[in-house]
Amino acid sequence: MLWDIASEGAQCMDGPRLGSNGSAADGMNLRHMEVFRAVYHARSISGAARSLAISQPSVSRMVRSLEDRLGYPLFSLRKGRIVPTREADRLVAEVDGVFEAVGRVDRMARDLRQGAFDRVAVVAVTSIAVGILPEALREVAARFPRVPISLDALNLADQIGAVARADADLGIAINVPPLAGFERRRLANAHFVAVLHKDHPYAARDMLALADFAVMPTILPPPGSPLGKIVHGAFAAARIGPMPSVTVNSPIPTGALIRAFRGLSILDGLTARLIGDPDLVVRPLAEPIAFPVHAFWQEPAKLSLPQMDLVERVEAHLRQLLAPAHAAVAG
């Protein structure tokens, strides 16, 4: 039976409405299913209308349209009450299953948006791990409150091993070479700077040239380290031999060495910003030495939404930090 559009108290019209070829029109769509399900469980046009936040005539029209499509009645009126037909009893189980599946899809989509099935495990060189990642990770956690986060400070070789073993999802390092089985993304270009004690003879200068390092003892990274390859390569290209006084593999102790020796060093600009020692000053180099900062991860793995969000936030923080360029850092 098909309902008049007024209310469940209206008269019923006998017989299904058929398509123009005499057969029942095409079947249900999701909106039909939603209205049918609401009427079935409410046993009331008015109750269904309230649950769907639409008018009673709209519910009646949808029921009529659905019965037209199916070619048989779904409800009848008995003593002023809506009673489902046997066909409706059989159909509702399948329709309920559809909406349960839709609910699962909706929950899955919401969980994915919150990072419920992911993690963000990142390894990075110390200057990035200390100077950039804490704020970037806080922002990721605010957007994806359910995602577990871990951070470790490692050199490049150890980062590669951690990502290869899946102990970490991605690494962030300086001057990452092309690596078989890994994808890399350049996040920014940074520059090396001169860092020296405030009592050093060069401290009064606004800028230092590479030739200045040939006549003054200098604290430098070893030639074989990732940073050392860049620094010593720049000296070699300029045909200048620096005068190393101390070789230090990690940039982190360099500030303490400069203070102790009242000396001079070349440091990457990211580490130089972390030192924060009032006894040290930072000066740009007349011959800029640039280096790239890369993020990398395993191929063919795809970064999840939270992981890619972190990469983009680190990139944004780096670009903002380095926007004034190396000439802006001064003691």
The dihedral built from the CA positions of residue 147, 150, 151 and 154, taken in this order, carries a sign that is negative
d(CA 65, CA 206): 82
Reading the chain (331 residues) residue by residue, the pLDDT tens digits are 334 433 444 333 333 333 333 333 467 888 999 999 999 999 999 999 999 999 999 999 999 999 999 999 999 988 888 999 999 999 999 999 988 888 888 877 777 777 666 899 999 999 999 999 999 999 999 999 889 999 999 999 999 999 999 999 999 999 899 999 999 999 999 999 999 999 999 999 999 999 999 999 999 999 988 889 999 999 999 999 999 889 998 888 899 999 999 999 999 988 898 888 899 999 999 999 999 999 999 998 789 999 999 999 999 999 998 875 443 333 3
The pLDDT value recorded for residue 26 is 64
Q: How far apart are CA 67 and CA 213, in angstroms?
A: 89
- Of the options 3.40.50.720, 1.10.287.10, 3.40.228.10, 1.10.10.10, the CATH number for the domain spanning 2-113: 1.10.10.10
**Are 2-113 and 120-328 equal in CATH topology?**
no
Give the DSSP letter of residue 195: E
Phi and psi, residue 168, nearest 5°: -130, 155
* pLDDT (0 to 100) of residue 12: 37
How far apart CA 153 and CA 138 sit, in angstroms, is 17
CA 283 – CA 208 distance, rounded (Å): 7
How many other C-beta atoms can be found within 10 angstroms of the C-beta atom of residue 300? 6
Q: Measure the CA–CA gap between 187 and 127, rounded to whole angstroms.
A: 14
Taking CA atoms, 148 is separated from 58, 114, 223, 313, in Å, by 47, 11, 38, 17
CA dihedral 223, 224, 228, 234 (to 10 degrees): 60
In contact, 110 and 156? CB cutoff 8 Å: no
**Rounded Cα–Cα distance for residues 155 and 227 (Å):** 11
Cβ atoms of residues 172 and 293 within 8 Å:
yes
Is the omega angle on the peptide bond into residue 57 within 30 degrees of 0, that is, cis? no
| Fold (topology level) of 120-328 | D-Maltodextrin-Binding Protein; domain 2 (3.40.190)
Which amino acid belongs to residue 69?
A: R
Q: What DSSP string describes 234-301?
A: HHHHTT---EEEEE-SSSTTHHHHHHHHT-EEEEEHHHHHHH--TTEEEE-BSS--EEEEEEEEESS-
Report whether 166 contacts 298 (CB < 8 A).
Answer: yes
Give the end-to-end CA distance of the chain in Å, rounded to a whole number: 87
The residue extents of the domains of the chain are 2-113, 120-328
Contact 284, 107 (CB under 8 A): no
CA distance 326 to 287: 11
The token pair that represents 235 in the structure block: 């000296």
